[in-house]
Amino acid sequence: MIHLARILVILMLGTMVYAQEESGTIEVTVAGFDNEKGQVLIGLYNSEALWLKKTYKGRTGQIENGKSKAVFTNIPNGVYAISVFHDEDNDGKLDTNFLGIPSEDTGSSNDAPARFGPPKWEKAKFEVKGTTVKQIINL
């Protein structure tokens, strides 16, 4: 009976370690703000099909000393991308001009460029593999 109890404890510990490795953390630092008005909206996306359409998770951050930080915890292993914008007027929407070009600063994971349109998923994506991933995004 004691032998069986030991086996069960070993199996449970192994399962707990395995479960911990099934998710990770994403630490996001956004830098390069022109001012500290408003807030920063940070969207985490988990698929190319939903990129810039529907966030998987979102965070709102305050700007202090030209930076903002956010943390996403318990993120399942997989491929993700981040999009951010400086919501200077606190309306929760990305303001654009009459051509649809953003008039508020934007950025993406891996500092993916936004040339002639929004950044591409392929340039912004990164992988979570049970550890902490750090992304520094410059506006």
H or E element: which one contains 111? none
**Whole-number pLDDT of residue 25:** 98
Average pLDDT, integer, range 97-116: 95
Residue 73 belongs to some domain of the structure: yes
For residue 50, CA distances in Å to 22, 38, 59, 65 come to: 22, 26, 17, 32
Lowest mean pLDDT across 10-24, 62-76, 94-108: 10-24
CATH number for the domain harbouring residue 98: 2.60.40
Residue 51 lies in a domain: yes
Within a domain: 1? no
Q: Confirm whether 5 is domain-assigned.
A: no
Q: For 8-59, write each residue's pLDDT tens digit.
A: 444 444 444 444 569 999 999 999 999 999 999 999 999 999 999 999 999 9
Q: How many domains does the chain have?
A: 1
107 in a structural domain: yes
- 56 domain-assigned: yes
What's the predicted TM-score (pTM) here? 0.83
Nearest to 27 by CA among 104, 82, 77, 65: 82
